Each structure stands twice: as structure tokens, then as C-alpha cells.
Structure 1
Amino acid sequence: MSAEFVEGWSIAQTLGEGTFGEVKLLINRNTNSTVAMKVIDLKNYPDAISMVKKEATIHCRLKHPSIIKYFGQRYSKDNFYIFLEYASGGELFDRIEPDVGMPQSDAQKLFKELIDGVDYLHNNGIAHRDLKPENLLLDEHGNLKISDFGLATMFMCNGKRRKLENSCGTRPYLAPEVLSHCPYQAEPSDLWSCGIILVSMLAGELPWETPSDDEVEYKIWKTTDYANHSPWCKLDTLALSLVRKILIPTPSRRYDISKICSHRWFKKSKSNVDKFNMPKYCDNDFDEARPCYSQPAPAANSYPTVSILPNESEIYSFSQPTQVEDLLLSSQLLSSQPVTTVTNNSIQKLVRRMTRFIVVLSPEEAIAKLSQFLDNLGYTWKINSSSLVTIITADQRLVFKSNIIPMQNQTLIDFRLSRGCGLEFKRHFVAIKNSMSKIISKGPLMWPVAIATNSVPYI
């Protein structure tokens, strides 16, 4: 592990990054407690202070099983720290297989937890405004946790409601009214994002890059021919029925939470939810604009956060598998019981990304081979250090990093999204993994072995 961040606490790894900073995992050497620390770089981005203070002010008010816990903050001259619950199950997008999705029973469970958390936010007058799989984390039991409140705002206070005006969020998940540059109601726009997330879970792809009539896929969604196109042809009758009620362009006609919870797909028992009913039908109580369709695969590569606010235009997902605790402020976390090392069991629950594999090569050979395959696949890349490679897609819309980690006569190659769409990142990971399949170890990935063999690297 690296040097102590504060007495008893060490930075174990970097979990994610955004334009203004990083999210780091911290471990207490005495108690093996784990927390995630969001670090905002005020030295290079001094204007970010107002945004992060707003985020902390909103997040500290929230206490719900489907929302990542807030534990505290710390402010220094060069950095602002937010400490949050650590969600060791990773990000939701990591559980979505590109172009396939996930089992309906899993999608139903997670969607119910998402709606429960969003209902809590709305009842407290808060709009998230950037709901997407990258901002939805999973705990060690696979329960969903809403995270990253960097774009959240209050739309109701002391019984007084206001419409929102700022166009912010991530393009494929934005409701059409958010792009209209006219005041809009908060709740329907968040629920539209929930509908897109449901499509991604069930179909493994996003329906469009932007919900605009300039998009062919979105225009088809508003016709009667949508059911012949992907992703809609992948959804069963009940699921499609619910999605169509959520993705109605007119906000006033869009399903609200009570109607979503009353829908047959939402209420369907787990034992029956994976039974598909084909063919699909079209009911007549849709919107007059008749939304319908999506592209066969997300043209999404890197979807920068959209915003007309200063300093928000370059915000990318900061979350990653984490969120932390006020390790600096909470006496409960600072135990006096001495433990000199972090156990394998405590580490094993920390890092559950599916985007990694082991090669039967030395670290030097592994990085040389990886570089060769990246060249063959048309990526731009650069070696940041002896163990870290930054990879950029040909269209420069997706950035991810690969960490080279020594492991007893083998090498772990770990990939982490830096900027862009999670589903598209998974596609690229699969392409790289397939191209390197002949040198990938077929044995099980035993992450604790890496911990026992080496200090946890900066990933």
C-alpha cells in the first residue's frame, strides 16, 4: 500500500476519475475498514469549489438504502474531499453484457431499487439529473446504490416548487425536454433517464445518442415501425409496455413513479419475470408523438456531460465502484486495535471489476504484447508509467486505462473506464480480450494472490 493519507488510513487504489479529480479507496490498517474518498483538485480547478460544496450540501441530507451513504467532507487549500460509503460490487454497467443485457429478474430487482431511490430523492425535492449505469453502484450483496450528486439540484423547498432550466446530464440518458432550453419539471426528466437505464439492462445497448429529431433512431422510435428495430425487438411484451410508458416525449403524459410501480412488469414475481411473451403489441394509449426505436448498438462512445453551466460541461462519471465515509471525522472508524496488515478477506471484497484478465507473461512482456494488440486494433495509447497505459479510441470519444499488475509468475491486466460510455467501454474490453485470448490464463482470477504477492498498485 501507499503512504498513509492520514494516521491509520492508506490509499489502496484509484477507483475512478473525472475532469476535476479522482475517487480513491482508503483502508484503515487497524480495523480493515474501507471508505472511498472523492478528491476534487481545487489547485487546477478553483472554480469547482461552488459545485462540490453544493454536491456535499445535497448529499449529506440523504439517508436511504438505495443511495450511497455520505459520511463527511474535508477542505484544504488545494483539495476538497468528500467521504462516502464504499460499494464493493462495482458499477451497474459492469453487469450489463454489451448487446445482450442481463437476466430480466436481475434487471427487475435493480430497477425496483433504482425507482425506490429516485422516489426518495423526489419526495425530498431533489433531482439527480445524471442518472446512468456509471453512477449506479452495487454493494457486496448486489444491492443498487445511487451515487454522484455532482449535478443534483433542489427543485422543491418548503413546499415551493420550481422548474429547472439548465441543460445538464449525459446525452443518451437525457429527456427531450432537457434539451429544449425551456423550463422543465424535475421528476419526469429523471424518470426518462430511468427508462433508458432499463433499456440498457434488458438489451445491452442504448436506443440513441441524443433524443433529438436529428437522430434517425429517435425518429423511428416515434413511428409505428419501432418494434422491428433494436433494442426494442429484444424486449418482451410487458417490459416493452413499461418502457413505452416511460419514454413518452411529452412529460405530462409520461408515467410517474406510482404508475411505474403499478405496472404488471414491475409487479411481476421473480419466478415469472424471465418468461418472455412474444410477439410484441402496440397499445393505443401512447403519446401523440408515438416514441419508438433505438440503434442496434450504441453509437455512444464517450458521452460528455452536457451543461450550459460554467465548469460543468466537462464533468464525467466520478463514481466508479465506491463512495466513502468520513474517515477523518468519524471516531467509529478510527480504532486503536493494532493490526499490521490488511487481510486477504477484506481485500477480496474491494475490487470486483469484470474488466480484467491474467496473462502468462512477465509485466514487461505483458505491456509489450498489450501495446502490440492495441496497435493492431487501431487504438492510440501511451505508457504513463511502467505499469499504467492510457488507451484512446480512434474517434477519441472513449478513454480508458490499463494497469499492469505482477502476480506470481503471471500478470494481471486490469482495465478501468476513464471517460465515456460504460457499455461502449465493455465492448472495447471484450475486443481486446478476444484478440489476446491465446495468451490469457485459463485459470480462475484470484485477486487476493496479487495482494499477498505485491502491494496494491495505483489502479
Structure 2
Amino acid sequence: MSGGGRLKVGRYELGRTLGEGTFAKVKFARNVELGENVAIKIIDKDKILRHEMIGQIKREISTMKLIKHPNVIQMYEVMASKTKIYIVLEFVTGGELFDRIARHGKMKEDEARKYFQQLIDAVDYCHSRGVFHRDLKPENLLLDSSGVLKVSDFGLSALPQQVREDGLLHTTCGTPNYVAPEVINNKGYDGAKADLWSCGVILFVLMAGYLPFEESNLMTLYKKITKADFTLPSWFSSSAKKLIKRILDPNPSTRITIPEVIENEWFRKGYKPASFESSDDTNLDDVHAIFDESGEPENLVVETREERPMIMNAFQLISTSQGLNLSTLFEKEMGIVKRETRFTSKCPANEIIAKIEEAAMPLGFNVKKDKYKMKLHGSKSGRKGHLSIATEVFEVAPSLCMVELRKSGGDTLEFHKFYKNISTGLKDIVWKSGGEAEGTSGS
């Protein structure tokens, strides 16, 4: 990989950012020794120290080491530099299950059942290892190039040590629309039963194409969830309706359990349990070692950086598309924009940056530029705080650039509206072919 501003960590060359949050970002990377593509989660040590999050990060890494299942993202290794922690993860190219629903809408019952079976398999295995995910939703369910489901993001998971004497968990977390009533009520909850509720919401979304509980007012949403106030669509089969009602039972003591779900007639249709070898000799010494400030300097990885304009080569370009299908980079369909979007341009990179800045300023965005990267920060607070957008220009060929706009903070719907508004000001720089603008691919 060639590129400026490129970071190399140990034997890995880092590429484009795949996602980012408050305390971490995930980058595409390549193991230069083996030629393998991976994803690396990069966590800032200072931030987690300031926010007293060492326990949570240790928990996340410990969880990933404990879980080895074909439907769960695999963690390969953990490294640390003086300032950062690097978690090397399996890289999958099929995108999020969320995107599959956003693009194509509701699934046929047989397809939804296939994904639900894989999800239940993974969650059941996690629970058998004493691990509860606590933030299950389509955005945390990835697909590999063969369409196999992979559960990701254990940042909110809980290990047995967090269970109190009453046998219950007490941390309220997760995404409101998918959270079980007992988590909201804050009286302690069974992690396995709360995870199953989220699985039930996911199954509903797969088959309906929309959420069972959705309200703009949070209190109204919580009331609906607490009462399990939802309506099953008419196109659901009667056996699917019965199962979803038993999963979305607001009373955890009468809610169906995962072993009962696995024995359910609707669930078992075409069911093939995952086949894999499980290991019980997981060593967590390296998890503790990366937080040990008295550790030997030679155990730390070395970071090196080269300052040159970023060039996106073939393997990076492939990583931006769904599966290995490059056509999604050049779709003519402008309507689908989720948390990130891209377009191609034949204009010089500095001209593209200037044009985006010019188009964003009247929309009330503050702009911070750093060479071929730019951060746009909304001056007004929206539904989920201020909308923030990370923009980067990559050179794909000497006369062709690819521009990526990615939501790094705020509400996805507001990002969608922002892109629609800014598109008008960018129409002159988007690559045109045959008189039509070629260009966005929603992700």
C-alpha cells in the first residue's frame, strides 16, 4: 500500500477508517508478512484512563479472546504502543446486515430465518462462555463475502464478574429500540434474557423492514417497550408470529429461553447448527500486559508514519465495496445514503476539498482541514447532538479521485438530509459519464 499520512504499526499497514466512536476507531489494515487483510480497532490510552474505562476495555478484549465461533468476529492479537492499544480483528467484506435491509427492505421469511438461526447460534455460544453482548442490533451484525453472519462490537458486553449477588446485571446500556423492558426499568436483569429480546426485535426488523418499537419521544418509546405494545404485520406466518410474541414478552420470567427457541418448530426449519472446534485454554495474560506501564519497551509496537497524499490501491478499493463487487462504488442511484457515502471525481484533490468547504459553510458547518482530510462540525445540536462528518479524498488513479463522507457523530437521518443538501453544490465536481452523475454508494 502506498499513501501519505499512512501509519504502519508492527507488521500491519493501516488504510482507510471503517468506523469511529468516542474512544476508538476501526481501520482497514494489511498484514504485510502474510498479505492478509484485517481490521484494527485503535483505542487511545489517555482517553480511557481519563474516563476510567480500563476495566471496560479489558472486558471487551477478554470477551473477544473467549469467543471463538464462526458467527462471531475473530480477534487475532492485541498490541500496544506507548499511547494506543491495537486490537487486530477478522475483516469481513459483506457490510452490515443493516445495509442489507436499508437497500432491499424486508426479507422473505426463509432468508430472515437463516440469519436469525446464525444469530441465535452465536449468542447461545457467547452465553455458554458467560458473555452477554447487551447491544445486539443489525448495525452490529456483519456479513462476510459468502453472506455468513458475524456478530461484532463487544464494547458493551458483560462478563460474569459484573453479575451481582442477586445474579443480575445492573448496567443500563444498549440502543433504545432494541433494549429489553427490564433493562430500561433498572431493577437488574438477566443478560441472556435481555439479549434474546434484542434478537426478537432483530427478527421482526428482518421480516418487516421496520422496527416494532419506534417513537421520536424517548419516554413514549420506553412505555411501548415496557408494555410490549407492537403490531405484527399480516404477512408474517402464524408460527413466526407466535415465536416473536413469546420472545417479545415484557415479563422476563415467562419469556421463552434460547434453548426453547432452538427447539421451536419455526426455528428448526432448515436449521444447521454451526460446526467448529472450541478451545478452553484461552490465555488472557496479554490483555493485562498491554495495560502494564512497567512493561518492557521491546514489547511495545513501533508506529511509523509517511506523509504523502493517500493513494488508494486495489485491495483498499475493494474494501470499500460490498463483497468484492466494485460496481457499488459507481452506482447511479442517489437515494441510498446511510452512515457513509462516496462519489468519484476527475477534479484535483485540493479543488474537491475547496468545493466541499464552499458547499458546507452555508449549511452551518464549521470546517477543519488537514491536507486531504476535512472535519465538518454542525453548529446546531440535532437529535443526537451535533452532526459531525469526516471527509477524505483518495487518489484511485492519476486522473480519478474517490471522495468519502462519513458520519462520525450525530444522527444518521440528519446526515442523510445533509448529503441531499450538499449534493447540489457538488454536482460540478462529481464525475459525469454519458451526461449522468456517477457516484454514490450508500453504506
User: Structure 1 length normalisation: TM-score?
Assistant: 0.67
CA pair 265-388 structure 1, distance change in 2 beyond 3 A: farther
User: In 2 relative to 1, CA 383–266 (structure 1 residues): closer, same or farther, beyond 3 Å?
Assistant: farther
For 2:251, the equivalent position in structure 1 comes to 250
Q: Distance in 1 between matches of 2:234 and 2:422?
A: 26
Q: 2:73 aligns with which of 64, 68, 75?
A: 68
Name the SS for the 1:206 alignment partner.
coil
**Cα deviations by residue, 1:261-306 (Å, 9 ceiling, x for unpaired):** 3445434569xxxxxxxxxxxxxxxxxxxxxxxxxxxxxxxxxxxx
- Name the CA shift for 1:181/1:6 in 2 (closer, same or farther; >3 Å): closer
Offset, 1:344: 5.9
Q: How does 1:57-206 map to 2 (within 5 A)?
A: 57-97=62-102, 100-155=105-160, 162-206=167-211
Structure 2 CA distance for aligned equivalents of residues 184 and 129 of structure 1: 11
Query: Does the CA-based 8 Å contact 2:131-2:157 persist in structure 1?
Result: yes
- What is the aligned counterpart of 1:13 among 8, 12, 16? 16
Secondary structure of the corresponding residue to residue 213 of structure 2: coil
Match of 1:219 among 212, 219, 224: 224
Using the alignment, how far apart are the partners of 2:208 and 2:79 within structure 1?
41
| Range 42-51 or range 201-210, more displaced | 201-210
* Alpha-carbon distance, 1:426 to partner: 7.9
The answer as to 2:408 corresponding to 1:418 is: yes
Q: Deviations over 1:322-362 (max 9, x none)?
A: xxxxxx99xxxxxxxxxxxx996644542236632334544
Asked whether the 8 Å contact 2:361–2:367 carries over to 1, the reply is no
Aligned to 2:306: none
Q: Give the secondary-structure state (helix, strand or coil) at the position aligned to 2:53.
A: helix
Question: CA, structure 1 residues 171+220, in 2 after alignment: closer, same or farther (shift >3 Å)?
Answer: closer
Quick check: 1:351 aligned with 2:352? no
Q: Is residue 392–residue 405 contact of structure 2 (8 Å, CA) maintained in 1?
A: yes
- Give the secondary structure class of the aligned counterpart of 1:252: coil
- The answer for the alignment partner of 1:395 in structure 2 is 382
Q: Distance in 1 between matches of 2:358 and 2:243?
A: 46
The Cα of 1:219 is off from its aligned counterpart by 3.3
- How has the CA–CA distance of structure 1 residues 52 and 7 changed in structure 2, closer, same or farther, with 3 Å as cutoff? closer
Amino acid at match of 2:35: N
- AA paired with 2:250? P
Shift of residue 50 of structure 1? 2.1
Partner of 1:54: 59
Aligned-partner Cα distance in 2 for 1:179–1:446: 38
Does the 8 Å contact 2:431/2:439 carry over to 1?
A: no
Distance 1:69 1:234 in 2: 39
TM-superposition CA deviations, 1:110-157 (whole Å, max 9, x none): 222111100101122211111122222222222111112222112489
AA partner of residue 380 (structure 1)? F
Tell me the alpha carbon deviations over residues 12-41 of structure 1, each in whole angstroms, 9 at most, x when there is no partner. Answer: 122221211222222133432122221211
Partner amino acid, structure 1, of 2:382: D
Unaligned runs of 5+ in 2: 272-297, 300-310, 323-327, 329-340
**TM-fit CA distance, 1:396:** 5.4
The answer to whether structure 1 residue 35 and structure 2 residue 21 are counterparts is no
Q: What is the one-letter code of the residue matched to 1:185?
A: D
Structure 1 spans left out of the alignment, 5+ residues: 271-327, 330-341, 448-459
Distance 2:25 2:349 in 1: 25
Contact 1:171 1:210 survives alignment (8 Å): no
For the Cα contact (< 8 Å) 2:312–2:395, is it kept in 1?
Answer: no
* Residues 391, 404 of structure 2: 8 Å contact kept: yes
Provide the identity percentage: 33
Q: Give the structure 2 partner of residue 286 of structure 1.
A: none
CA shift for structure 1 position 217: 8.4
Distance, in Å, in 2 between the alignment partners of 1:93 and 1:426 is 16
Per-residue deviation, 1:60: 0.8
Contact 2:312 2:394 in 1 (8 A): no
Report the residue type matching 1:350 in the other structure: S
After superposition, what is the alpha-carbon deviation per residue over 1:297-324, rounded to whole angstroms, capped at 9, x for unaligned?
A: xxxxxxxxxxxxxxxxxxxxxxxxxxxx
Cα distance between partner residues in 2 of 1:344 and 1:10: 13
Give me the whole-angstrom Cα distance separating, in 1, the residues matched to 2:121 and 2:414: 28
Q: Read off the aligned partner of 2:344 and give its amino acid letter.
A: I
CA contact 2:184–2:222 (8 Å) conserved in 1: no
**CA distance in 2 between partners of 1:180 and 1:21 (Å):** 29
Query: What code does the residue aligned with 1:237 have?
Result: S
Conserved 8 A contact 2:60-2:154? yes
- Normalised by the length of structure 2, the TM-score is 0.69
Instruction: Name the count of aligned residue pairs.
Output: 370
Q: Deviations over 1:212-254 (max 9, x none)?
A: 9931685399588x54xxxx44852344443322222111222
Supply the distance in 2 between the matched residues of 1:75 and 1:87 (Cα, whole angstroms): 23
Corresponding position of 2:262 = 261
User: What does residue 367 of structure 2 align with?
Assistant: 382
